Structure 1
Amino acid sequence: MIIKQLVLRNFRVFRGTHIIDLAPKKRERELHDRPIVLFGGLNGAGKTSILTAIRLALYGRLAFDQSSQQQDYINQLTSLIHNGVSQTQRPDDASIELIFTYNKGGKESEFTVTRSWKRGKKDKLSLLQDGAHLEELNYEQCQGFLNELIPHGIADLFFFDGEKIAELAEDETGNILRTAVRRLLGLDLISKLRNDLAIFTKRQYAKQLSTEQQKKIRVLEEQQNSLGFKAEEHMAALDEINAQIEFLTLQIIKFEGQLSAQGGAFALTKTQEEKKVDELVKDKERLEKALRHECDGTLPFALAPKTLYQLLTRIENEAEIKQTKSFEKELTSFLEQLKADMAFRSRETSIIATEAISDQLEMYMQAKPKGDLLFDISEREAGIIKYAIEQGSKSSWQRFDDYRSELTKVENMLEQSSANIARAPEDDQLLDIFNSLRKLDVKRIEQKNNYRFHIEEAKKFKQQQLDAAKQIQKFHDAERDQYGFVSSLKNAEETIGLLDSYTDVLTKARVKKLEANFEMAYRKLARKEDLKLSAHINPATFDVELVDENNIAINRKLLSAGEKQIYAIAILEALAKTSGRELPVIIDTPLGRLDSYHRDKLINHYFPYASHQVVLLSTDTEVDEKYFVDQLRDDISHAFEIKFNAFTKSSSISKGYFWELTKEIV
């Protein structure tokens, strides 16, 4: 296939008619091909519109979302019509014309696809083959013809943008690649043939049934269709309900944001904070009372340890002084008595003895402490004071310190809670928001209950539909067992079995070829220091596992950004080559996330060889002047520059590229 020409009329940023020549051309006296057609444009100029137009021309609704409703498709088409500078200058219609050659059945034909539409209207589709209208085809048949000519699933491997590469590179689940492999293998066609054969066998069995049995089957089939319709109604209601739930959730988030901005978080906990304050006040009073109790006890003794040490020393000295005085008094009395007794004895002896005793007593008493008694307390009182100072005051101080620390914490918590209460607005200020939130929450709960109801109803009708299908199958199975196979039924049944075997063989062969193509593409694009990756694909589940040169599985998360991009492009190239289709490759914003080294790899080893026709839609920072002049000049057939005019709010396409030197080369 070669896309020869694209004609845009009032499409997106392109006002009026723009004819774009896309067919690659050789230079005179050159033997090698020049496959690349290059478009240059800044962001917003209209590069993506080229890719979108080609996909829309070929696939219609499938270019957007195959699950979208008809009205959604009409709205999307309307949004693609050029808006103009003002409301009065807006065109009311748009069209795309795509001319391409395609080799079908060994014969090359030229096809012209024209898709046109008006605001708020469904599109019209016409198809010419070699200049002749295919008038026998209506819209659906014409679209089906294009889908068979270039299957949508296969074209996804050839017409893509940088976001698709990024999406595939960042896909850690493997779902995107798994879907691409399924489309590539063409299993949907085999499945369709298998279903057609199954329908054929069922109809043949039905012909052999009695009139009464056929009547019962018709009733069951009508019941099955009715149940299926009811199940679909409930499933459709689920989509609408889910949208309402999402809308209500967004509204709730909005009001919660307003609530938070106005101190709503503090308002929600205001009552709790007030209760907490009451408890903290009680704790504070308890601790303050305990502290006062300690102050009334032995705690003051701990406040002046040096002075109290001197006090204890003084008390001990006074105790010794008292003992000394008591001893001196007793001894003096004893001496007086002794002198009286000795008076009756020898005078000289008495004098000598008395003097000796007095001298000894004086010497003994000189060593004893002397002084006045300041306190004159008893021994019991001294013991009480000593215990209070040495032990009681220490215990009291420890309790005092614990109470004080706890009181500090309580006071801090009181301060914080009081601040939270102060931050909370008055209830009247938030009443409207609270009421709105309450109403929205009630509505959301109702919708969730409604959602569950429709889910259960859909399950019920689906189960009843399945039961009806089983009853129909029982009739067919019973008839088949009774009458055996006629030749056509036997052939159909055998063909179904052969299709299953063929599917297995085809899958294994294509998977093996895909693995080889990926390894070849990745080796060509990766740097020497990159991981040496291979792909192992499970033929049953189509799960893709990356392995290194040691056959060890690689976690995609561990790949660098550049390796992920190269991996994605290698996968796309491998899928395209494995498909066996000779289709153009169209890439929008191909180098956006790559470093300079990986860009060099793609410029030198991918773009010139990706296909016989390669359309690149690039910014000036991707395929820059250096790449254009030094590396791609011999592979570029021709180039265009897309310029956006802010005054007219439209873009124009001219020959050449961004810089004068590149225009001279073109």
Structure 2
Amino acid sequence: MYLIQIQLRNWRSYRNATFTLPVPDRNGKRNVILIGAQNGVGKTSFLMALYLGLFGREAMHLIEGFRSRTGADEKFPSYQRLIESILHRPSREIDEPHCSVTLTFEIDDAHVVINRRWLFKRGGKVRDLDSADGEEVLIEANGRKRLYPNWQDANRRVEELLFPSNVMPCLFFDGEQAQARVEAAGGRALFDAVKALYGTGLLDQLGDSLRSFINNEKSKLTKDVGSVRAHELEEKRQELDRYKDQLKENQEALVEKRRERNSAEQAREQLENDLYSMVGDKATDIEEYSASMSALTQEEANLKSELVNGVVSLALPLALSRNARSVVCDLEAEIVRSRWLLLKDEAADKASKIVESVLPSSGSAPVTPPLTVSQSNQLRGALETALESLWSPPPEGCAPDFRYGFLSDADRSSVIQSIQKAGYGSAANLADIAVDLHRVTTKLEDTRQRFERTRDIQPQLQKLKVDLQLALDQSRELTSMVGGLEHHERGLQSSINDLKAAIGQMEARREAGSPIEEKLDVAQRVRALVDDAKEYLIPLCKDALEQQCTAHFVAMISGEYTKFKTRFEPDNEPWLEGPKGQQVLLSSLSGAQKRAFGLAFTLAVAGVAQTNAPIVIDTPVGNMDSQYRARVLQYVSEAAPGQVIFLSHDEEIDERYASTIRARIRKEFLVEFEPVEDGSGVSTVNEDSYF
């Protein structure tokens, strides 16, 4: 099965785009298709087109932002909002807006084409999605086209032609969601999907159908066969059903007790490790604490000495502190007076020259008409008074007289600085020393307490021994319970085998009765065969999935989990089981290991189902380091049974990593985006191009 073409029309940022995807070459070594696009350009749109194009609303829970939607009441309106958000924005204003996805698959040299189209009203409001007016599905298979009247029939046809909808997240997924996808694989949904691919799901359906058929035919049977042997045979069959139900309950209880036993063993191992660690490490801790106390004691003594010397040096500043402000103010005022007197002397001399030049003391002023002597004297006095205002009165802050006349202006400034420095510098330094002393004293006390606690470990050892004994007792009790359940299981299985043998002998001796009885006999035999096949195939499916997932995971990682094996149970999260039975839950792995596990699970599903369906991964190695990326990309490319399509941006699979899988690359695409208006644009697909 190959995906050979995707056509997108008015699909988010794609106005009208086509991806033509080649099948792998004849020897299957060139099977990788690399699609590059920056964030927000179209990678997620490609993945959404696969989900919604194949199964529409049944795939809605796989879309980011809609994964938590559950319940029939809110499912339809959520689907409506999702479809309305997908329509290409500029297309909303045309007369009959629509968006569509056309997917073309090649299966055994024949083509299957699925075209799903959504119709809108002008303005972007989607039409009735429960009818062909809102969502229409056209499927072409075996050369015949059919437009399906409803989405349910269309989805059933897609499952018949390709795969069940619950298998899809195993094949198409976002690498960032690998952890959630694989954790879900531990749940019933994806485990049932693998059973469906493997064929055991068909046996479940067949067994249920046979049981319904037998019950219906018995209700129709009104004639008394009058045979004690038939009555005994029916009782045997009912007894067999009861034993099978008991066996199922016993097996479920056995699984739970084994899990509890494994948890108890892990707790016991942890307590043993704690005990060994305490005994072996305490001596080293005592030496380290002793050295720390010695160093801290010396530092405390030095800081105390500095603090004492600093307090002594505060004597002079404290003596000055009462009159220091007054002295500083007087000195500052004298500096102002000195500058004012200098200005006054300079200005008075210049003022005299100005008056003399305007109104000379001898002769007359050069004005017309000439001034009288009285006028000249009056003007001279007014001019002298006006010029005197340049320096009189003295400026604010000027001293009335010199108190420290023996000092120059430079000496006054030096004295001010000395007083201020003596008043503030020492106190600030002492505050820092006091803070350091408090810190050292606190740390020293804390270290002493740790030293005392470490030196006396006897109570801690005693508590660990008690806890360890309790853990041992619990482990023994659970082991005994597991043994009892296993013994009961063997007894039930033996009883079932005996009943099957007895029923077989009775059926062999029984002569054919009425046609209805003959049909019932045949149905019972077939049902028994189906039950036997299920008991064999379901564990085989689980074992095969675990083995292949383990092989793929170990091949991609490095480090402490190379000897661990993958374990799956239908109703639990997957885990890794170590050689000593220790369990490591998937949720406790690193981000890169979770993503590698997700890829390993996909390869295992494809291998168990023996399907070569395409595998599409968005950002497959996004959070991995350089060694992980190269190794994982190369391994997935080689291990994938068919097409593998990587969706990446330029910082994930750049040219360096692309070169490691160059020999596997069949086709490259580069998606580029061009803005058209605020909030929208057009994505263009460029073939044979990459970053």
| TM-score scaled by length of structure 1 | 0.51
SS of alignment partner, residue 64 of structure 1? helix
Instruction: Identify which of 571, 574, 592 aligns with 2:604.
Output: 574
Q: In structure 2, do the counterparts of structure 1 residues 82 and 549 end up closer, same or farther at CA, with 3 Å as the change threshold?
A: same
Q: Say whether the 8 Å CA contact 2:112–2:140 is kept in structure 1.
A: yes
Q: Say whether the 8 Å CA contact 2:174–2:617 is kept in structure 1.
A: yes
What residue number does 2:534 align with? 503
What residue number does 2:544 align with? 513
Q: In structure 2, do the counterparts of structure 1 residues 491 and 118 end up closer, same or farther at CA, with 3 Å as the change threshold?
A: same
What residue number does 1:604 align with? 634
Instruction: Identify which of 190, 207, 211 aligns with 1:198.
Output: 211
Cα distance in 2 for residues equivalent to 1:91 and 1:46 = 24
Instruction: Identify which of 73, 77, 86 aligns with 1:72.
Output: 77
Equivalences for residues 514-529 of structure 1 within 5 A: 514-528=545-559
User: Per-residue deviation at 1:601?
Assistant: 1.5
What residue number does 2:566 align with? 535
Counterpart check, 1:82 vs 2:95: no
SS of alignment partner, residue 592 of structure 1? coil
Equivalences for residues 263-302 of structure 1 within 5 A: none
Equivalences for residues 240-639 of structure 1 within 5 A: 486-528=517-559, 530-537=561-568, 544-632=574-662, 634-639=664-669
User: Per-residue deviation at 1:483?
Assistant: 9.2
Cα distance in 1 for residues equivalent to 2:151 and 2:585 = 47
- The one-character-per-residue Cα deviations of 1:471-514 (angstroms, maximum 9, x if unpaired) are xxxxxxxxxxx999611122223322322221111112112222
Q: In structure 2, do the counterparts of structure 1 residues 122 and 500 end up closer, same or farther at CA, with 3 Å as the change threshold?
A: farther
Instruction: Identify which of 157, 164, 170 aligns with 1:157.
Output: 170
Q: Say whether the 8 Å CA contact 1:159–1:585 is kept in structure 2.
A: yes
Letter in 2 for 1:161: D
Instruction: Identify which of 112, 127, 132 aligns with 2:144.
Output: 132
Counterpart check, 1:2 vs 2:32: no
Q: In structure 2, do the counterparts of structure 1 residues 87 and 517 end up closer, same or farther at CA, with 3 Å as the change threshold?
A: closer
Q: Say whether the 8 Å CA contact 1:169–1:565 is kept in structure 2.
A: no
What residue number does 2:107 align with? 102
Letter in 2 for 1:561: G
Letter in 1 for 2:36: G
User: Per-residue deviation at 1:137?
Assistant: 8.5
Q: In structure 2, do the counterparts of structure 1 residues 87 and 543 end up closer, same or farther at CA, with 3 Å as the change threshold?
A: closer
Q: Say whether the 8 Å CA contact 1:61–1:73 is kept in structure 2.
A: no
Which range moves more in the overlay, 198-207 or 109-118? 198-207
Letter in 2 for 1:638: E
Q: In structure 2, do the counterparts of structure 1 residues 140 and 194 end up closer, same or farther at CA, with 3 Å as the change threshold?
A: same
User: Per-residue deviation at 1:67?
Assistant: 5.4
User: Per-residue deviation at 1:644?
Assistant: 5.0
Q: In structure 2, do the counterparts of structure 1 residues 90 and 633 end up closer, same or farther at CA, with 3 Å as the change threshold?
A: farther
Instruction: Identify which of 127, 132, 135 aligns with 1:123.
Output: 135
What residue number does 1:189 align with? 202
User: Per-residue deviation at 1:170?
Assistant: 6.5
User: Per-residue deviation at 1:123?
Assistant: 1.0
User: Per-residue deviation at 1:35?
Assistant: 1.2
SS of alignment partner, residue 606 of structure 1? helix
SS of alignment partner, residue 114 of structure 1? strand
Q: In structure 2, do the counterparts of structure 1 residues 626 and 8 end up closer, same or farther at CA, with 3 Å as the change threshold?
A: same
User: Per-residue deviation at 1:13?
Assistant: 2.0
Cα distance in 2 for residues equivalent to 1:201 and 1:655 = 58
Q: In structure 2, do the counterparts of structure 1 residues 641 and 591 end up closer, same or farther at CA, with 3 Å as the change threshold?
A: same
Counterpart check, 1:19 vs 2:18: yes
Equivalences for residues 166-181 of structure 1 within 5 A: 166-168=179-181, 178=191, 181=194
Q: How many residues align?
A: 381
User: Per-residue deviation at 1:98?
Assistant: 1.1
Q: Say whether the 8 Å CA contact 2:207–2:530 is kept in structure 1.
A: yes
Cα distance in 1 for residues equivalent to 2:195 and 2:95 = 43
Q: Say whether the 8 Å CA contact 1:99–1:113 is kept in structure 2.
A: yes
SS of alignment partner, residue 5 of structure 1? strand
Cα distance in 2 for residues equivalent to 1:618 and 1:485 = 63
Cα distance in 2 for residues equivalent to 1:193 and 1:69 = 34
Cα distance in 2 for residues equivalent to 1:490 and 1:536 = 39
Q: Say whether the 8 Å CA contact 1:160–1:586 is kept in structure 2.
A: yes
Q: CA RMSD in A?
A: 3.6
Q: In structure 2, do the counterparts of structure 1 residues 48 and 68 end up closer, same or farther at CA, with 3 Å as the change threshold?
A: farther
User: Per-residue deviation at 1:8?
Assistant: 0.9
Q: Say whether the 8 Å CA contact 1:24–1:613 is kept in structure 2.
A: yes
Q: In structure 2, do the counterparts of structure 1 residues 648 and 34 end up closer, same or farther at CA, with 3 Å as the change threshold?
A: farther
| Percent identical | 24
User: Per-residue deviation at 1:48?
Assistant: 1.2
User: Per-residue deviation at 1:190?
Assistant: 2.6
Cα distance in 1 for residues equivalent to 2:92 and 2:568 = 54
Cα distance in 1 for residues equivalent to 2:536 and 2:573 = 18
User: Per-residue deviation at 1:115?
Assistant: 1.0
User: Per-residue deviation at 1:655?
Assistant: 5.3
Cα distance in 2 for residues equivalent to 1:173 and 1:568 = 12
| TM-score scaled by length of structure 2 | 0.49
Cα distance in 2 for residues equivalent to 1:547 and 1:100 = 39
Q: In structure 2, do the counterparts of structure 1 residues 31 and 175 end up closer, same or farther at CA, with 3 Å as the change threshold?
A: closer
Which range moves more in the overlay, 565-574 or 108-117? 565-574
Q: Say whether the 8 Å CA contact 1:74–1:122 is kept in structure 2.
A: no
What residue number does 2:155 align with? 143
User: Per-residue deviation at 1:622?
Assistant: 1.0
Unaligned runs of 5+ residues in structure 1 are 211-481, 658-662
- The one-character-per-residue Cα deviations of 1:43-81 (angstroms, maximum 9, x if unpaired) are 211211111112222212211149576733651463254
User: Per-residue deviation at 1:528?
Assistant: 4.7
Q: In structure 2, do the counterparts of structure 1 residues 163 and 496 end up closer, same or farther at CA, with 3 Å as the change threshold?
A: farther
Cα distance in 2 for residues equivalent to 1:593 and 1:4 = 30
Q: Say whether the 8 Å CA contact 1:84–1:91 is kept in structure 2.
A: no
Q: Say whether the 8 Å CA contact 1:24–1:36 is kept in structure 2.
A: no
What residue number does 1:49 align with? 45
Q: Say whether the 8 Å CA contact 2:183–2:573 is kept in structure 1.
A: no
Cα distance in 1 for residues equivalent to 2:593 and 2:39 = 25
Cα distance in 1 for residues equivalent to 2:183 and 2:544 = 24
User: Per-residue deviation at 1:141?
Assistant: 3.4
Q: In structure 2, do the counterparts of structure 1 residues 520 and 614 end up closer, same or farther at CA, with 3 Å as the change threshold?
A: same
Q: In structure 2, do the counterparts of structure 1 residues 510 and 48 end up closer, same or farther at CA, with 3 Å as the change threshold?
A: same
User: Per-residue deviation at 1:529?
Assistant: 5.3
What residue number does 1:58 align with? 54
What residue number does 1:113 align with? 114
Which range moves more in the overlay, 515-524 or 556-565? 556-565
Q: Say whether the 8 Å CA contact 1:83–1:90 is kept in structure 2.
A: no
Cα distance in 2 for residues equivalent to 1:46 and 1:156 = 19
What residue number does 2:256 align with? none
Q: In structure 2, do the counterparts of structure 1 residues 629 and 502 end up closer, same or farther at CA, with 3 Å as the change threshold?
A: same
Cα distance in 2 for residues equivalent to 1:502 and 1:146 = 28
Q: In structure 2, do the counterparts of structure 1 residues 171 and 496 end up closer, same or farther at CA, with 3 Å as the change threshold?
A: closer
Q: In structure 2, do the counterparts of structure 1 residues 98 and 86 end up closer, same or farther at CA, with 3 Å as the change threshold?
A: closer
Unaligned runs of 5+ residues in structure 2 are 62-70, 122-132, 224-512
User: Per-residue deviation at 1:643?
Assistant: 2.3
Cα distance in 2 for residues equivalent to 1:54 and 1:172 = 20
User: Per-residue deviation at 1:86?
Assistant: 8.6
Letter in 2 for 1:141: D
Cα distance in 1 for residues equivalent to 2:640 and 2:113 = 25
